Amino acid sequence: MKADRHADRTVIVTGGSSGIGRGIALRFAEEGANVVVADVRREPKQGERYATDVTDPTDEVIREELGGEATYVETDVSDPDDARAMVEETVDTYGGLDVLVNNAGIFIAGDSQEISIEEFDQVIGVDLAGAFYCAKFAVPHLKQSKGQIVNIGSVNSQEGGGGPPYASAKAAIVNLTRDLAVELGDDEVNVNAICPGFVETPIQDYQTEEELQIQLDQTLLPYVATPEDIGNAAVFLASEEARFVHGESLYVDGGWTAHSL
């Protein structure tokens, strides 16, 4: 373990099997938390460019390599019954809930003419409605623990790009964060968002080499983020060190948005 900022706390990370969610889950485990990995599949996704050799499930890595506590719960966050069951199983297993990380998300490439109505609804269902469902069922327990919600947005939260459903959902995540912050401030439940830029995850496979280079050029630093970089931001926002950070969106983007505001 690297530290113990979250020792004996219980954290749900949706979409925790792969990519950014996996990085967040591992960082919370390193900080001593009990981690519930909630995802539609336990096996991590492998990419053609990134995470090419990732094979062991996140919960297994936490238990066997990090010596932590972790549970996998099969969850489709776009199904409110699944979201409710995920929270209930977490509380039954660990006795409560301290942190909800709404990370689960999907991306379908295409513009307004290419994306079908069904695909639009699918992305909104996971990326936006799913975050609301999970928060709805987690909030009563977070009020008891005076816990935290960390929502995962995107650089596309404030600019076009990524397609109509993705950009719309990620922009809405920022305002959902603000709205929950207004609702939960008196209950001492901190709510914030992280908006990543380019991160080394399998989702990048959809891009051509030319498109990939445009993304890299948009990043001001001479390197891009790993999932653990987003995890570092998440463990901070859910810690006592961030007790007065509330209703904010932290852009962890290597300077992406510094020249586009």
Q: How far apart are CA 158 and CA 163, in angstroms?
A: 13
Q: Give domain status of residue 4, yes or no.
A: no
Which of the residues 50, 133, 166, 251 is marked catalytic? 166
**Residue 236 falls inside a structural domain:** yes
**Is position 261 within any domain?**
no
Report pTM.
0.95
Task: Supply the CATH number for residue 181's domain.
Answer: 3.40.50.720
- Per-residue pLDDT at 1: 43
Query: Domain count of the chain?
Result: 1
Sheet holding 148-152: strands in order across? 69-74, 34-39, 10-14, 99-102, 148-152, 190-196, 249-252
Active-site residue, 50 included: no
Three-state DSSP at 199 gives: strand
Per-residue pLDDT for the chain (261 aa), expressed as one digit of tens each?
Answer: 456 899 999 999 999 999 999 999 999 999 999 999 999 999 999 888 888 889 999 999 999 999 999 999 999 999 999 999 999 999 999 999 999 999 999 999 999 999 999 999 999 999 999 999 999 999 999 999 999 999 999 999 998 888 999 999 999 999 999 999 999 999 999 999 999 999 999 878 777 888 888 888 999 999 999 999 999 999 999 999 999 999 999 999 999 999 865
Domain hosting 111: range is 10-256
Q: Residue 55: what pLDDT?
A: 92
In-domain check, residue 225: yes
Give the pLDDT confidence score for residue 19 in this predicted structure: 96
212 token code pair: 């990939």
Cα 45–47–21 angle (5° rounding)?
45
- Give residues with Cβ within 8 angstroms of 155, minimum separation 6: 195, 196, 197, 251, 253, 256, 257
In a domain, 194, yes or no: yes
In-domain check, residue 153:
yes
pLDDT of residue 203: 78
For 124-172, what is each residue's pLDDT tens digit? 999 999 999 999 999 999 999 999 999 999 999 998 888 999 999 999 9
| pLDDT attached to residue 215 | 85
Which DSSP helix (H) or strand (E) runs through 72? strand 69-74
1 within some domain:
no
Contact 97, 138 (CB under 8 A): yes
Domain assignment present for 3: no
